[in-house]
Structure 1
Amino acid sequence: MSDTPRFPDDSATSEETQELSSADRTVDLRMVDSDRTVDLRFSDSARRSGRRQPRIGVGWTHGGRSLDTALRQLSGGKVLHASPAGPAMRARRIRRHALLVNTFVPVLPPVTRVLLAVLTVGWVVSLVLFWRWWLEPPHRTDWMRLLINSSLLLYMSAYPILPILRFNKLRTVNPRVPIPELRVAFCVTKAPSEPWDTARRTLEAMLDQDFPYSYDVWICDEDPSEETLAWCRAHGVRVSTRRGQPEYQRDTWPRRKKCKEGNLAYFYDHYGYRDYDVVSQLDCDHIPSPTYLAEMVRPFADDSIGYVAAPSVCDTNADS
């Protein structure tokens, strides 16, 4: 049952239409949502003037609940209060763009970082001394040759800059950051060409995670077999399938048939965006280690982080 109110139209039944009360000459605007209704009564003078101004004290309760409570429940907490001036909406949470100082820590141990800093300083000093020597007057015999040779030397001498900068800034997520308690889905995608045995091994590893909170395991399968469905029922794995959904069986992108993009599109449209804060998705042969899910969810303790990518090392090529 949806929490979105349905407003009556001209063809609605008498129970869902606007009603005039001859006793107090007020107008009921009834928002119907199955067995839940909220009546907003407007004074006769406000109705004649065309202003939608509720008359305080009339029609502001429903089933023992105040109008504010009912509106909060119907709007999912988005409407906090209704007044003659209009509804008061919940303030949107502003996402920070600056990382917390304790989110990341250096990858290298202190001794290695000191050694790397010394080598970096030595490289910079050597670079300065070399170019000072190279541009001395005795070496400027011909400007064209000097320009060509200097360009080649500049490329060769500047090539290590990017690796050196990256090595000095290597960071990893702080293992002391607590894992946030979020609504987490752990899903694997399976194409029709991939064998069930491969997916089953991945699902078994997904179920055997060292994770402090509850999480849901999903398989996104375009056309699951009876064997797949039976195994998933027995092990508590949820199945997302677009079988029988022509809008997700297109010949072209997006939602293309016989590809994982269409499977994931169906999952996110029907479950992912609605029910979860974090979704960790794997390929069919990417058998996760026991701490995989915990390490993927840990960075989301920092509100400024919205996406996490893991190294592409799966079980089938880990030894190569």
Structure 2
Amino acid sequence: MIEDFFGFIGYEQVTETAFSHMKHNRSVCFVGPHGSGKSSLVAASAKLMSERRVQSFPMVISFCNPLKQFILTIVEKLYRRKLLSPEHLADDWDTLRKKLSREHYRHSIKIILPAIRNYPGLFIGIDDLDTLTPIGRSVILELTNSGAIICAAATKRTVTLTRVLYQFQEIPIPPLHDDIVRKITAAFLDERGLLVEDRKHFIENIVWKSAGSPLALDNLLKYFENEPHIRIEDIRKLSQGAGRKETSLEWLIYATFAMVILLRFVSRATMNKQLYIITSSLAAAFVIIRYFMSKGNRSDA
């Protein structure tokens, strides 16, 4: 993702807001549309917790069905960090996993909850709560009631999710501001050393097509990453893909220039000195303007 390259630009305030809740042992849930950066925010929050709270033991898990697999993942992470009871740490993980796989998931919960109570402030990042089931909801509530700090992500407020959100501080994710997208795109072009024939036009089209979505921006920049030279034709295709109608006036300019040249020949044929001077001046002005326009495009690239 782009945040791996530029840092989490544009969402610093969101992560700080989340941390301000989590440092007081309150769980949070990022809510936003697909591609808005929820998963990355969960990971960023885990990193922030590990940097500012050594005792947080951050772990990030994707919520999955069947529920038993999700619970076993938590048990494994607690086992790897040696946070389980000595009785369970005595076995190697494969042996313990086989034992728990044969048991009801409630047995695994009984292993998890004491570990959470023994280490208050344990951070658990859970991605994608959209598939949360009623039983999964009860498990999440047990984790939070035992003292775990949960940082979750969800695309929409389902009925099941709504019934668990009262335990969370809901944080909506705003789209990236246009200025932030411009900043990221410009930095990307500079860092990668990409040549763009019309840099300003290219950046504005990236802003338009990404529509503030970090995932869309990431995909767009990756698409052009391996292009050593981004031509005007590529930018026009990008504009058309974004739903913009590109109207080129270049043909009109050349048609006008052709008319000036035609009138110049007419003035010579009719011996019209005044018309000849005017058309010659216009032709010279066109050549000069066209030269500086092309020079400006090369300097932008």
- TM-score above 0.5, yes or no: no
Relative contact order (alpha carbons < 8 A, sep ≥ 6): 1 or 2 greater? 2
**Structure (1 or 2) with the greater helix fraction:** 2
TM-score by length of 1: 0.18
**Structure (1 or 2) with the greater strand fraction:** 1
TM-score by length of 2: 0.19
